[in-house]
Structure formats: C-alpha cells, structure tokens
Amino acid sequence: MEIQIERADGVLSIVLNRPEKKNAITAAMYQEMADGLYEAEMDPTVRAVLIRANGTTFSAGNDLDDFLNDPPKGLDAPVFQFLRRIAGFPKPIVAAVAGTAVGIGTTMLLHCDIVYASPNAKFSLPFSQLGLCPEAASSLLLPRTAGYQRAAEKLLLGEAFDVNEAIGMGFLNGAIDAAELDAYAFDKAKRLALLPASSLRVTKSLMKGAHAHEVTARMEDEAAHFSRMLVAPEAREAFQAFFEKRKPDFSKFE
C-alpha cells in the first residue's frame, strides 16, 4: 500500500509508503489521504493525526508521470479533496519530515499544527521553475508565516532551503535526530490525544477560524491558475526538460 493508515493510542497516522519513488504522490494517494483525514475527523476515538513517511525522502511532490497523464480536473480532483481536508481539519495534526520535501511535500506542512524534521531535511517550492504557480494556499500562508521577502525568495526562485531556514520562517518547530524523529513526533501526537478534545478543537478553531474562508478562496484561485498554466508552453518546456535531464529554455516565452 502506497498510503498506510495506522491507529494507536488515539492517533491516526497517515504514512507515505512509496520510498522507491521518493514518496512522489499520485492521484490515488491523494484520495487515500483525503479519505484518511475524513475517517479521522469522523471517528471520536481519533484525537490527533500524525503525517510521516517511510524511507529517506518525505515526498518528492507530485508524481509527474501520473500528474501529466491524469491532471486534476476540477475542484473535486483527489489533490483538491486532500487540500480541503487538511486545511479544514479540526483536530491537531503533527508532521514528521525526514529528508527532502518538494512542492506539496512542503506546502502541506503549512496546514499542520506541529512540524518536526530531521536535521538533514531540505525543503523546496519549485513552482516557478516548472512554469506553474503556488498551490495549497501557500501564496497566502507562506508570506503570512515567513514575511513577504522570505516567501518571495522561496516561491519565485524555487531554491531549496534547510531546516534552520524553515525554523526561522516559522513553519517548523524543531530539528530532531533522524533515528528518533518518528517516535518523537508520535509521542507528541499521543500527548495531544490525552488532552481534552474539545479544548484542542476550540483552540485550533480560534487560531485558524478567522482565515478559513480566505484560505479556501485562495486555494480555488491558485487551482484555476495552476490548471491553466499546466497546459501552457512554459510548463511543457519545463516538464520536457525534466524528463530529458536538461535545463529548460524559457527565453522564447514572454
């Protein structure tokens, strides 16, 4: 199974389990994660969620073959189902990031409540490099979290950044030794599961509720631009260059 759903001690764990493909995410995996979050929301015995990955890479982002062969069509596509679920999830979400987190591997973290990473973790948002635009409301949330200039540097240049920068940008709580990361994050999720569920729900709602409609609206705006740009010449050149293992040439596009 490319997404494992595990339950223990009041915690539902969603585990990316495609290490041979660097946990690149397919439409089917997005659907499983969306369904897992729905299950966790509806089940009163689930008090917290943990998102982690097997292998040495958290996620290489979208599986490009799958993404190009079956691009998202409309807001009911599995990727948008997943984004709406994680953005509006009422219970605490903890994430453990080991290794590289590319694209949505990073932007999904903006919707988690507590995020830990291994010291060697790397983050990147290469949307502009692929002729695309941000997703997951990252064009709203990253400037709000990190400040405009830092967000602009990461979203416009798309260059990778490390754990220390991620901590400084405000979406990473701390670095934990890779050998201890999963257990450490699970322990934090278990501690949350022992606390009064109503208190956690209300506290999270108060922190995030005022911006919920804004986040949803931004996701929809991004999705409209993303879908259009995905079939534009710049993206075709970027993807062709990726598969041909060469640098893309955007000089012919205005």
Per-residue pLDDT tens digits for 130-187: 999 999 999 999 999 999 999 999 999 999 999 999 999 999 999 999 999 999 999 9
Q: How far apart are CA 154 and CA 29, in angstroms?
A: 26
pLDDT at 134: 97
Find residue 62's DSSP bridge partners.
Answer: 25
SS3 115: strand
Looking at residue 154, the DSSP 8-state letter turns out to be I
In a domain, 174, yes or no: yes
As a whole number of Å, the CA-based R_g of the chain is: 18
pLDDT at 72: 86
Cβ–Cβ < 8 Å for 90, 205: yes
Number of neighbours of residue 139 by Cβ within 10 angstroms:
20
Query: What domain range includes position 151?
Result: 3-178
Burial of 196 (0-12, 13-18, 19+ CB in 10 A): exposed
In a domain, 200, yes or no: no
Cβ–Cβ < 8 Å for 13, 6: yes
Q: What residue type is 162 in one-letter code? A: D
pLDDT at 74: 80
In a domain, 219, yes or no: no
pLDDT at 57: 98
Strand arrangement, sheet containing 114-117? 3-8, 11-16, 48-53, 93-97, 114-117, 174-175
pLDDT at 158: 97
pLDDT at 233: 94
The dihedral through the CA atoms of 49, 202, 215, 227 has a sign that is positive
pLDDT at 102: 98
SS3 84: helix
SS3 117: strand
Q: How far apart are CA 76 and CA 156, in angstroms?
A: 28
SS3 51: strand
Any idea what the CATH number is for the domain that residue 9 is in?
3.90.226.10
In a domain, 216, yes or no: no
pLDDT at 33: 98
In a domain, 232, yes or no: no
In a domain, 202, yes or no: no
Number of neighbours of residue 98 by Cβ within 10 angstroms:
25
Domain count, the chain: 1
Q: Residue 124: which of 83, 156, 84, 90 has the closest Cα?
A: 156
Strands (E), 112-244: 114-117, 122-124, 161-162, 174-175
In a domain, 9, yes or no: yes
99 phi-psi bin (left φ>0, alpha ψ -120 to 50, beta other): left
Residues 6+ apart with CB under 8 A from 208: none
In a domain, 92, yes or no: yes
Residues of the chain with pLDDT under 70: none
